[in-house]
Amino acid sequence: MSEEYSSDNLYEQFAQVKNQTQDLVDKMEQLQAKIIAISEENVELSIENKHLRQMIKEKQPHHSENQLSGSRQNLKELYQQGFHVCSEYYGKRLEPNESCTFCLDAIFGHEQGMTK
């Protein structure tokens, strides 16, 4: 009898583990479906966000920085990286929080007169 009881007990344990495994598989499938839905929504929102940013950019008036020539844009980038772009100190490092009127004039000063 003890053998029957132990095999019954073993069968019950197996059935219990099988049920727990099935529950776990069901929960994993539910989580997978939620992850897929969230990922799809994320992609849709990213695309919508990109389109909205593009529409906002198109609606905004053009700023003077958008009107700079390519060479002046390069000078501006160098200046923002911390280098002088004026003829007086060209290539030298700017001190932290330093601004240079000569550099700003080289970047923005004569551009207005050239476009008119």
Q: What is the pLDDT of residues 35-68, one digit of tens each?
A: 999 999 999 999 999 999 988 888 876 554 457 7
Count Cα neighbours of 16 within 13 Å in the Cβ-side half-sphere.
6
Q: Is residue 80 part of a domain?
A: yes
Same structural domain, 2 and 54:
yes
Q: Is residue 93 part of a domain?
A: yes
- State whether 30 and 76 are in the same domain: no
Q: Within this chain, do residues 45 and 84 fall inside the same structural domain, yes or no?
A: no
Taking Cα atoms as reference points, which of 60, 69, 67, 101 lies closest to residue 84?
101
Residue 112 clears pLDDT 60, i.e. is over it: no
pTM of the predicted model, to two decimals?
Answer: 0.43
How many domains does the structure of the chain reveal?
Answer: 2
